[in-house]
Structure 1
Amino acid sequence: MPRPAERAERRLTSGAPAWVAAAEAVLDARLEADVDRPLAVALSGGGDSMALLRLTSDWARRRGRRLLALTVDHGLSPDSPDWNALAERAALSMGADWRLLRWTGPRPASGLPHAARRARHRLLAEAARAAGARVVLMAHTADDVAESERMRAEGSSLGRLRAWAPSPVWPEGRGVMLLRPLLAARRGELRDWLTALGADWVEDPGNDDPRFARARARRALSGRLVPVTQPAGEGAAAEGVLRVEEDLVHLARAVDGRALAAALVCAGGGDRPPRGDRLAALLARLRAGEDFVAVLRGARIEAEGDRVRVCREPGELRRAAAASLPLAPGVEAVWDGRWLLTVPEPGWSVAPAAGVMARLSDADRATLKALPPSLRAARPVLIRNDPPAAVLARGVGKGHALVEERLARALDRMTHENHPDAVFHGAAPRKHLFSGVTIMNEGRFPGPEEPRRA
């Protein structure tokens, strides 16, 4: 006699359309089975996300995974309480845990869709990290890909939708990957499937509001046959990254556009890709063999002969007001989007080396002097005011650059949920900026498996 889980699987997959098998194949290829770590699902209550919830809940039941459904309430519709209630009922009926995430604070006078999208990704990433989830499932379809490409053709800086990609917010999305298993499905197919199952969903009237670019693209493509194609760049290896040394990226002159854009964003510490025309201009100069120095998206690119280096531009760092960040003891902090730092005692902050080099010891100044001049001023320095101290590389805390891992994730070096660390082939082992040898009278800084002292 079939068990209840087997009967549920048969009901769900019996006579299922081809996109169901395609979606399950994506889940199998990217996700672990039989682990206690939760798998997060973005659940708005719309037809796409409700179909994703049903499909994923069945897959998770068979693969021994827990589901966490995350619903973001942007506070933009009077109907959102009803939508939230529907999402909660659906999640609990599928055996998933459910969390409601609210976007609070002021709304921008313009660019509301962009701000709402960033807030949604930030809330999803933070909730996933808090729950221990490494992957958030998103319900984008082939129609979303077509609409996004149309918006990009009309000048939007919207990123391309890929089946497997890091969270687009930084540093909130550190360590969180997005998985879109429904890119082979059409929006109408999902709703037909839900109707056959007797499932409910909501339709957001904002999706048809012509004030928004997404709604205009949707109207323009309505009724047209949109081919289901692989998003641009999906599955293609980005070329031209030679190696990464902490926060310095070495490139070949033949670097492709995708790798150059990712290097600029990661080395610059931000999360917004460069505009296409500016990126194309840089690529043209590299291809022409020109020697030059340029600044884009907070990063500095230096091309001289066969050597191309990308690092943080110190002047942009100062303009970004990333001058000083207080550090709480035992709490990891991301500074300037590039370095992960931890100190074991209160009273310390981190600031760029620019302006404080004279306060460093002779040994620390010698360490900085060994670096390329453009790299020195943007290195982090730990500062304490009472008693006074300024330390670059000895005995206070631990830290490492995030540039390599972030860049490797962006360029598909991480291909599976069980690969938490992504690196480039042949890269040097990660080095700590702070040695963590002895901390005044506080003893040795705890290792990664030891408990931290308060």
Structure 2
Amino acid sequence: MEPVAVALSGGGDSMALLRLAADWAKARGRRLLALTVDHNLNPQSADWTRFAGEAARQVGADWRALSWEAPVAGPGLTARARVARHGLIAEAARAAGARVVLLAHTLDDVAEADWMRARGSTLGRVREWSPSPVWPQGQGLMLLRPLLAERRKGLREDLRGRGVGWVEDPANADERFGRSRARAALAGEALALPARSLRDHPPHAGEGEAGRFAWVGVLEVSRDVSASTLAAALLCAGGGAVPPRGERLERLKARLAAGEDFSAGLAGARVEAAGASVRLMREPGEMKRRPQETVRLAPGVAAVWDGRFEIAATEPGWRVEAAAGRLVRLSDADRRVVAGLPAGARGSLPVLVREDGSGAILAWRGAEVRALGARRLRLALGETTQEADLFHPMHGETPPTDLFS
């Protein structure tokens, strides 16, 4: 059975989670994998990493040390460290076969994030069950925060009662950082869960459906889509990693709500609204402005192309490129398939080309291809709520079975 991963910094919250997770895993016969990231930002970080490793082994967990090798001081350091941490954890978890990573966020973290957002931070809301925020490293990987109803103080009191120590990072008290200022401002305050349970699905879940062209990366939403769902759908259709925000997103939402027919681009995605139909797809023009790196395929090894497709070739000698400029080189059979697709989506289809530049076939002819957008959107909207769902094939990820026969 696949392991469950836990992010272990050695701090009090993660030490409490480690012990709870170890008891849970032992009772269910699951393997627990503890992952510790050394950010190389403190002279004591190597000692903290060793401490975390010893703690993991004491409870019978497997353990891996991960290292961020490129920390650069300056503005945005906390955000860059967070992205690097999530990326390292995602790659290690997936390599081990895990699809769920436990994180030790508490009710204090929820309150601190709210405090920071009220003062201009772009931090997202902390959810109990959410997809990994890095892409494509985090594809199909979910984050579970089982301690969101717990206070930091109570977890440490429990550790003291068990005679368990933890690491205290001095950065937590350094008010140059927004998180530390929030922690100081909220110290000693009574906190309560929001009226709407953190365990509920987001209110916008299920507003849109993937659509019958999801296998080529086309997603569909309703005209009354919420801003958060629209942002998530644009991100998934465009294959990017940073969701759109602000005035451009609000203007786009307003045009949809007004019933306007139009085409527009945002976040690497193209929006085509006509009547009740609103389709989101990759913006071909954006692919020309910022060409994707060539992806060379090894037989049987899945590679992500353009953040939208997972492709595994069945034979050597292929690379993946965009169909734009190569459609005329396709066979009659492939051109018939393309003719049945939305026109705006055709140029961004993945095409296999031989290493010497010869040949051009739709990727589905010579590889196993899985579209990632529809599943990614379901994860973002909180519609996948069970670990088992992460491993099951999803309708719409692959083309109709007879299309390429």
TM-score by length of 2: 0.92
Residues 82-133 of structure 1: per-residue CA shift (max 9 Å, x gap): 1112111111111111110111236375321111111111111111111111
Question: Which AA in structure 1 matches 2:151?
Answer: R
Task: State the match for 1:158 in structure 2.
Answer: 123
Query: Which deviates more from structure 2 when the two are superposed, residues 427-436 or residues 407-416?
Result: 427-436
Q: How many residues align?
A: 400
Task: State the match for 2:227 in structure 1.
Answer: 257
How far 1:69 moved relative to its partner?
0.8
Q: Does 1:331 align with 2:301?
A: yes
Q: Residues 387 and 356 from structure 1, CA distance in 2 versus in 1: closer, same or farther, beyond 3 angstroms?
A: closer
Task: State the match for 1:22 in structure 2.
Answer: none
Task: State the match for 1:313 in structure 2.
Answer: 283
Task: State the match for 1:210 in structure 2.
Answer: 175
Residues 210-269 of structure 1: per-residue CA shift (max 9 Å, x gap): 222222222222232222234497453524213332211111112122321211111110
Counterparts of residues 339-350 of structure 1 (less than 5 Å): 339-350=309-320
Equivalent residue in structure 2 for 1:183, among 148, 156, 159: 148
Higher alpha-carbon Rg: 1
Q: Secondary structure at the match of 2:359?
A: strand
Contact 2:319–2:355 (CA under 8 A) maintained in structure 1 = no
How far 1:63 moved relative to its partner?
2.0
Q: Residues 185 and 101 from structure 1, CA distance in 2 versus in 1: closer, same or farther, beyond 3 angstroms?
A: same
Contact 2:16–2:159 (CA under 8 A) maintained in structure 1 = yes
Question: Which AA in structure 2 matches 1:183?
Answer: L
Task: State the match for 2:24 in structure 1.
Answer: 59
Q: Residues 239 and 385 from structure 1, CA distance in 2 versus in 1: closer, same or farther, beyond 3 angstroms?
A: closer
Query: Which deviates more from structure 2 when the two are superposed, residues 67-76 or residues 302-311?
Result: 302-311
How far 1:140 moved relative to its partner?
0.3
Q: Does 1:286 align with 2:256?
A: yes
Q: Does 1:397 align with 2:362?
A: no
- Looking at structure 1, the residues matched to 183 and 64 of structure 2 have their Cα atoms a distance apart, in angstroms, of 30
Contact 1:270–1:297 (CA under 8 A) maintained in structure 2 = yes
Equivalent residue in structure 2 for 1:271, among 196, 218, 241: 241
- Looking at structure 1, the residues matched to 291 and 176 of structure 2 have their Cα atoms a distance apart, in angstroms, of 34
Question: Which AA in structure 1 matches 2:203?
Answer: A
Q: Secondary structure at the match of 2:389?
A: coil
Q: Does 1:380 align with 2:343?
A: no
Q: Secondary structure at the match of 2:183?
A: helix
Question: Which AA in structure 1 matches 2:398?
Answer: R
Task: State the match for 2:399 in structure 1.
Answer: 431
Unaligned stretches of 5+ residues in structure 1? 1-35, 438-454
Residues 397-441 of structure 1: per-residue CA shift (max 9 Å, x gap): 2212111111112222221112225788xx55732799887xxxx
How far 1:375 moved relative to its partner?
0.7
Q: Secondary structure at the match of 1:162?
A: coil
Q: Does 1:302 align with 2:272?
A: yes
Q: Secondary structure at the match of 2:86?
A: helix
Task: State the match for 1:450 in structure 2.
Answer: none
Identity of aligned residues (%): 54
How far 1:333 moved relative to its partner?
0.5
Contact 1:43–1:50 (CA under 8 A) maintained in structure 2 = yes
Query: Which deviates more from structure 2 when the two are superposed, residues 229-238 or residues 70-79?
Result: 229-238
- Looking at structure 2, the residues matched to 119 and 306 of structure 1 have their Cα atoms a distance apart, in angstroms, of 41
Unaligned stretches of 5+ residues in structure 2? none
